Amino acid sequence: MSATAVLLVIASATAHAGWNFFTKKASWPLGFTWAMAFVGTIGLLPVGAYLLITEPPEPSGWTFVAVSWMLHLA
């Protein structure tokens, strides 16, 4: 396994643990969760727009986008 993959897994686990810690310590956990989701969406929106313009998905990739979108809504 490459060092990059290991570092990404460690970073992901650390972010997940931090998210859970701060959510449990928040006075209003649901509000904190919504606020973090909003901040994450706003923060990644420019990156997603840039990638959509410069490297659009292939037509078959839109199927995966649609399925992912529906699963996130469920």
What is the predicted pLDDT for the residue at 24?
96
Range 16-25 average pLDDT: 95
Percentage of residues of the chain with pLDDT beyond 70: 100
pLDDT for residue 47 is more than 90? yes
* Angular region, 36: left φ>0, alpha ψ -120 to 50, beta rest: alpha
